[in-house]
Structure 1
Amino acid sequence: MLTSTARFETQNASRYLQQLLKHFGHKIEVSYDESQGQAMLNQGPAVLKADAGALTVQVSGGDLRAVIEARYVIDKHLVTFAFRDGFSGFSWTLDA
């Protein structure tokens, strides 16, 4: 399984984590609290963590295409939710 991770510096990390996972929860299985959560995306699981200064997301997939699609799903939704913080997409890294 391939994984990719990204971090967005924001004071609103917990709010975005909860907003994103609540939204996803209308269609897929999710679990979350104020500081961490997981979404079972079609491509593979996404794990989110919020701390006082940033939102960190790790997506997983069976191949590179799945990872890229999962990154797109996360980015697309956060662009809408975090526009006030100037979010325009994560700078993702492919984990070793």
Structure 2
Amino acid sequence: MLSAQARLHTEHASKYLQQLCKHFGHKVEVSFTADAGHATLPTGPAQMTANDSELWVEVTARDPEGLVVAKGIIDSHLKRFAFREGFESMPWEA
């Protein structure tokens, strides 16, 4: 499995984590609390944690194409949820 991680510095980390998980929960299996979440994305699992200053996300996939899709899923949803912060994309690292 391949993975990529990113941290978003924001005061709204818990809010975004919960929004992501609630939204994903309409289509895939999720579990979450205010500070940790897991979503079984079609490409592979996504792990999320939140604290007072940042949202951390790790996505996994079987191949490079799946990893691109997984990162795109997170980015596209956060772009809608964090638009007030001018969010464009997570600073992904392999």
Give the TM-score, by structure 2 length.
0.98
Residue aligning to 1:80? 80
Q: Which moved more, 1:15-24 or 1:83-92?
A: 83-92
**Where does 1:1-80 land on structure 2 (aligned, <5 Å)?**
1-80=1-80
In 1: Cα distance, 2:42 partner to 2:75 partner: 15
Deviation of the 1:85 alpha carbon: 1.5
Percent identity, please.
47
Question: What number of residue pairs does the alignment pair up?
Answer: 94
Structure 1 unpaired stretches of 5+: none
In 1: Cα distance, 2:6 partner to 2:73 partner: 13
In 1: Cα distance, 2:77 partner to 2:63 partner: 22
Aligned-residue CA RMSD (Å): 0.5
Deviation of the 1:91 alpha carbon: 1.3
Deviation of the 1:40 alpha carbon: 0.2
Deviation of the 1:82 alpha carbon: 0.5
Runs of 4+ in structure 1 over 2 Å off: none
Aligned-partner SS, 1:23: helix
Residue aligning to 2:90? 90
Deviation of the 1:31 alpha carbon: 0.3
Deviation of the 1:78 alpha carbon: 0.3
